[in-house]
Structure 1
């Protein structure tokens, strides 16, 4: 069974690459998608404004989650918890905890929670307080596809929609 997922970008992305992104992102160097269309649309606006492009795009794919769970090494974070926090911190510090996985899913360290994460990384906030603050937020959704074979086998481009240009970009 396929699930629709979205990737907001300044370009049409028919053939995603796992190795294209930066290695210090939340879940590592991979291709990021989400089940939340509005989140991908906001991200497309943000990226488009950063790159000063003409049109943001919503790339739409079908993903075979059943095959991913059966064949590939997966990690799923249900909540903003200590494991999630440590994973994000290690990724941002360049320790690459994602290297042992093909697929990682969980919440984004976005503008709702990034101050807490950054304070924890800087050592100005103990883990217990950071986790208490994170517990007040419902995680959104991001999936990081870290393996090119997984992308080629399990992610299928469906269509791409141009979005109207927003001056705000919005919050994730």
Structure 2
């Protein structure tokens, strides 16, 4: 995996990303989240009064433990359910589709027994593509090189 550009949507410039444990559990656990899809980072940023998209060059360190879900699979679903329930994992970087609010509602319905796993997959497959990279450790953060921040108008 060569050099790539990733985007982080938020409310300020972040030249030195840090891993901050939030009050809510996330798809791939605690970490610094980015995406390859600029439009998605713009959507993330627009939730704030001062929307800012940070751009980073990524130089992947292949010695790190990296888990990549190339598509939404049973393994992806089970991994997200575990992380959302606070189960830690051993990966430095996790890459895959994002369970946005609608997808997570389907996951919650599955966990609560309202829908079956098969019904989850029928509902989930019609969503637009999403992408996220979770940099879960300090070693993973070293792969990021800040390029610039763009305040959105």
Normalising by structure 2, report the TM-score. Answer: 0.91
User: Any conservation in 2 of the 1:27–1:87 contact (CA below 8 Å)?
Assistant: yes
Which ranges of structure 1 fall in alignment gaps of 5 or more residues?
165-172
Find the aligned partners of 1:120 and 1:148 in 2 and give their Cα distance. Answer: 34
Find the aligned partners of 2:55 and 2:68 in 1 and give their Cα distance. Answer: 22
Kindly report which structure 2 residues correspond to 1:3-14, keeping only aligned pairs within 5 A, or say none.
Answer: 3-14=4-15
Which residue pairs with 1:118 in the alignment? 108
User: Any conservation in 1 of the 2:92–2:139 contact (CA below 8 Å)?
Assistant: no
Which ranges of structure 2 fall in alignment gaps of 5 or more residues?
none
Aligned residues: 151
Q: 1:142: Cα distance to partner?
A: 0.2
Q: Which runs of 4+ in 1 moved over 6 A?
A: none
User: Any conservation in 2 of the 1:35–1:141 contact (CA below 8 Å)?
Assistant: yes
Find the aligned partners of 1:88 and 1:150 in 2 and give their Cα distance. Answer: 20
User: Any conservation in 1 of the 2:64–2:140 contact (CA below 8 Å)?
Assistant: yes
Q: 1:80: Cα distance to partner?
A: 1.6
RMSD of equivalent CA atoms: 1.5
Q: Which has the higher helix share?
A: 1
Which residue pairs with 2:52 in the alignment? 57
Which residue pairs with 2:147 in the alignment? 158
Does 1:142 pair with 2:143?
no
Does 1:94 pair with 2:83?
no
Find the aligned partners of 2:135 and 2:12 in 1 and give their Cα distance. Answer: 18
Find the aligned partners of 2:95 and 2:31 in 1 and give their Cα distance. Answer: 12
